[in-house]
Structure 1
Amino acid sequence: QVFVDVVRKVASHGKGGEVFTLVELAAATNNFAADREIGYGSFGTVYKGTFPDGRKVAIKHEGADSVQGHRDAFLSEVDILPTLRHRHIIRLLGWCVAEKENSLVYEYMKNGSLHDHLHGGAPSSSSPSPVTTSWRKHMEILLGISRAIEYLHSHAVTPVIHRDDKASNILLDDTWAPRLADFGLSLKISWDDIKCRNAPVMGTSRYADPEYISTGRLTLAMDVYSFGVVMLEMLTGKTAAGLVSNNKNSLVSFALPKIEAKKLEEVLDRRPAQKPTARQLQATDLVAATAARCLCLQGKKRPAISEVVAELTLVEKPSFVGRPISTIVPDTIKTGAKDDL
Structure 2
Amino acid sequence: MDVAVKRLASHSGQGFIEFKNEVELIAKLQHNNLVKLMGCCIQGEEKLLVYEYLQNKSLDFFIYDGKRTALVDWTKRRVIIEGIAQGLLYLHKHSRLRIIHRDLKASNILLDKDMNPKISDFGLAKIFSSNDIQGSTKRVVGTYGYMSPEYASEGIYSIKSDVFSFGVLLLEILSGKRNSGFHQYGDFLNLLGYSWQVWEGGRWPELLESSIAKEIHTSEARRYIKIALMCVQENADDRPTMSDVVAMLNSENVILPEPNHPAFFNLRVSKVHESFSAVVPCSHNDLTITAEPDGR
TM-score, normalised with respect to structure 1? 0.71
1:207 CA drift (Å): 0.5
Q: Kindly tell me: are residues 329 and 232 of structure 1, through their superposed partners in 2, closer, same or farther at Cα, counting changes over 3 Å? A: farther
1:328 is aligned to 2:254: yes
Partner of 1:221: 160
Q: Kindly tell me: are residues 175 and 294 of structure 1, through their superposed partners in 2, closer, same or farther at Cα, counting changes over 3 Å? A: same
* SS of alignment partner, residue 259 of structure 1: helix
1:69 CA drift (Å): 3.8
Deviations 1:255-287 (A, max 9, x none): 1221233211122101124x345xx22221111
Residue segments in structure 2 that go unaligned for 5+ positions in a row: 267-296
- In 2, distance between residues paired with 1:80 and 1:338? 30
Q: Is the 8 Å Cα contact of residues 161 and 188 (structure 1) preserved in structure 2?
A: yes
Deviations 1:76-106 (A, max 9, x none): 2111001101000000000001121000000
Q: Is the 8 Å Cα contact of residues 199 and 218 (structure 1) preserved in structure 2?
A: no
In proportion to residue count, which structure has more helix? 1
Partner of 1:61: 7
Q: Kindly tell me: are residues 100 and 234 of structure 1, through their superposed partners in 2, closer, same or farther at Cα, counting changes over 3 Å? A: same
- In 1, distance between residues paired with 2:6 and 2:130? 31
Q: Is the 8 Å Cα contact of residues 196 and 261 (structure 2) preserved in structure 1?
A: no
* SS of alignment partner, residue 95 of structure 1: strand
1:312 is aligned to 2:257: no
Partner of 1:136: 75
Partner of 1:255: 195
Partner of 2:174: 235
Deviations 1:130-160 (A, max 9, x none): 31xx211111100000000000000111100
- In 1, distance between residues paired with 2:8 and 2:124? 16
1:266 is aligned to 2:206: yes
* Percent identity over paired residues: 33
Q: 2:39 aligns with which of 89, 94, 98?
A: 94
Partner of 1:206: 145
Aligned positions of 1:151-162 closer than 5 A: 151-162=90-101
Partner of 1:282: 219
The structure whose Rg is larger is 1
Q: Kindly tell me: are residues 69 and 121 of structure 1, through their superposed partners in 2, closer, same or farther at Cα, counting changes over 3 Å? A: farther
- In 2, distance between residues paired with 1:66 and 1:81? 23
Q: 2:234 aligns with which of 283, 297, 300?
A: 297
* SS of alignment partner, residue 179 of structure 2: coil
1:183 CA drift (Å): 0.7
- In 2, distance between residues paired with 1:239 and 1:329? 29
Partner of 1:120: 65
RMSD in angstroms over aligned alpha carbons? 2.5
1:298 CA drift (Å): 0.6
Q: 2:109 aligns with which of 170, 190, 196?
A: 170
Partner of 2:289: none
- In 1, distance between residues paired with 2:117 and 2:62? 12
1:104 is aligned to 2:76: no
Q: 1:71 aligns with which of 4, 12, 16?
A: 16
1:191 CA drift (Å): 4.6
1:181 CA drift (Å): 0.6
Residue segments in structure 1 that go unaligned for 5+ positions in a row: 1-54, 315-319, 321-326
Equivalent residue letter for 2:123? G
Equivalent residue letter for 1:235? L
1:174 CA drift (Å): 0.5
1:338 CA drift (Å): 7.8
Equivalent residue letter for 1:260? E
Q: How many residue pairs get matched?
A: 264
Q: Is the 8 Å Cα contact of residues 239 and 251 (structure 1) preserved in structure 2?
A: yes
- In 1, distance between residues paired with 2:244 and 2:215? 26
Q: Is the 8 Å Cα contact of residues 124 and 142 (structure 2) preserved in structure 1?
A: yes
* SS of alignment partner, residue 58 of structure 1: strand
- In 1, distance between residues paired with 2:100 and 2:130? 12
Q: Is the 8 Å Cα contact of residues 134 and 159 (structure 2) preserved in structure 1?
A: no
Equivalent residue letter for 2:140? V
- In 1, distance between residues paired with 2:38 and 2:203? 46
Q: Kindly tell me: are residues 253 and 336 of structure 1, through their superposed partners in 2, closer, same or farther at Cα, counting changes over 3 Å? A: closer
